[in-house]
Structure 1
Amino acid sequence: MPTKGDLTKQRILDVARELFYKKGFDATSTAEIARGASISEAAMYKYYKSKRDLLTASVQPTHFVEDTSDYSTLTNNELVQCWTALFLEKVEKNLPQYMILFGESVKYPELSETYLATFHKETPADIEVQKRIKTGHFPKLDMTLMQVGMIGALIAMIQHLVIYKKHDDLNSVPPKVKEVISNIISGKFFN
């Protein structure tokens, strides 16, 4: 059972993540975070040494895709479909973290290291895709670079839809965006 301190630390992190996500890191003050968490700034520093520590913590995933499936018997098309579904699930369940990561990494490159250390865990589907790349069944590509590109595209599409009032929720991935990303990954976009 979480202690009162654990709950306070989590509340601070939740408030910080929401503010960094909606306003950006530089536009968010520690006073705002403390106020939102219903504690004093001094109390906040008992849990996080600095605002930068909060930024690093804010990009930590809250959802991991638990997958122990065996993908070796799937066709290439089936594998791509499964891999894409798992990828989209991971991104959608951690969308605020990805938005913060992509928005702040240019100024704070250590966030990219945090991404590689926490988000980028190989799944059995990743391993099977890499195996098929090595054996020539899939074209050679840098999986990390492809994932980063797809996440960046997904974020840009969501922001576009929000800007033009076609989607009002920055906390979910619209089905239209999922479909476009899935079609790009599977190669169906121009078929």
Structure 2
Amino acid sequence: MDIENNNITSNLIYRNDIPIGKRKILLAAIDLFYKQGFDRTSTVQISKEAGVSEGVIYKHFKSKQGLLDAIINPVFTDLSLHINNSLISKDKYTEKDIREIIAATIKEKMAYLYNNKKIIKIMLIELMNNTDLCNRMKTNFSINYPTIINSFHSIFKNKHISNEEVLRLIMGSLFYEFFKMVFYDDYNSTKLKNETENIINSIFTYVD
């Protein structure tokens, strides 16, 4: 499983064009927001953790909210569930196609959650407190949901299961694994690989 190509967090922080002070602020803010939440974290704490003055934070991000937006927006815009486009274009799907789609989707999403777990956790907590962010997520989901369901319908139309059942099974499995990634200290790349294979096998069993 190639998990390095699915790391928006790393791309955000370690771009070649980002100033070192800004990088330190992002690293500190992500760690503090992840551990204690956005509201409980002050710019004073972030500046101390990053080893820069508060003025540097405001120079790069204008406000603490601006800093939060810079952290969560890249992931927020990239979270919609999607399937390998090279396989969706077919009119008919063989059993091999279906298995490849399931495996590719789960592997990609598990790697995505693993690489970006800190930012995703920050975003999920903010969704409960930020009406504007919540409305943006609802809009994003409502736009993408028909495409997602139509894709499932094309792939699983010869199976005796509904589109919603497949989506619920995949999303439920991913959410449970994300919970473990966040709260289990021993969740490493080896466990990621094993858990991914377990999810794939359980979904194969369900749709067969």
TM over 0.5: yes
Deviation at 1:92, TM superposition (A): 1.6
Residues 145 and 18 (structure 1), Cα distance of their counterparts in 2 relative to 1, 3 Å cut: farther
One-letter code of the match for 1:178?
Answer: T
Q: Give the structure, 1 or 2, with the largest relative contact order (CA under 8 Å, sep 6 or more).
A: 2
Rounded to whole Å, the distance in 2 between the matches of 1:144 and 1:112 is 21
One of 123, 126, 132 as aligned partner of 1:101: 123
Secondary structure in 1 matching 2:41 = coil
Deviation at 1:117, TM superposition (A): 9.3
Backbone CA RMSD of aligned residues: 4.2
What does residue 2 of structure 1 align with?
17
Aligned residues: 177
- Whether 1:70 aligns to 2:96 is no
Deviation at 1:26, TM superposition (A): 1.8
- Structure 1 residues 170-185: aligned runs within 5 Å: 174-175=192-193, 177-184=195-202
Rounded to whole Å, the distance in 1 between the matches of 2:123 and 2:69 is 9
Residues 145 and 9 (structure 1), Cα distance of their counterparts in 2 relative to 1, 3 Å cut: farther
Rounded to whole Å, the distance in 1 between the matches of 2:66 and 2:152 is 39
One of 171, 177, 180 as aligned partner of 1:154: 177
What does residue 7 of structure 2 align with?
none
Residues 177 and 95 (structure 1), Cα distance of their counterparts in 2 relative to 1, 3 Å cut: same
- Tell me if the contact between 1:17 and 1:97 (Cα under 8 Å) persists in the aligned partners: yes
One-letter code of the match for 1:2?
Answer: D
Rounded to whole Å, the distance in 2 between the matches of 1:114 and 1:61 is 14
Secondary structure in 2 matching 1:8 = helix
- Whether 1:29 aligns to 2:42 is yes
**1:95-131 residue CA offsets vs partner (Å, 9 max, x unmatched):** 211111222310124445666899xxx8xxxx79843
Contiguous gaps of at least 5 residues in structure 2: 1-15
One-letter code of the match for 2:101?
Answer: L
How high is the TM-score relative to the length of structure 1? 0.67
Residues 153 and 21 (structure 1), Cα distance of their counterparts in 2 relative to 1, 3 Å cut: same
**1:32-82 residue CA offsets vs partner (Å, 9 max, x unmatched):** 1111222211221111122122222222447x8xx9872247521221111
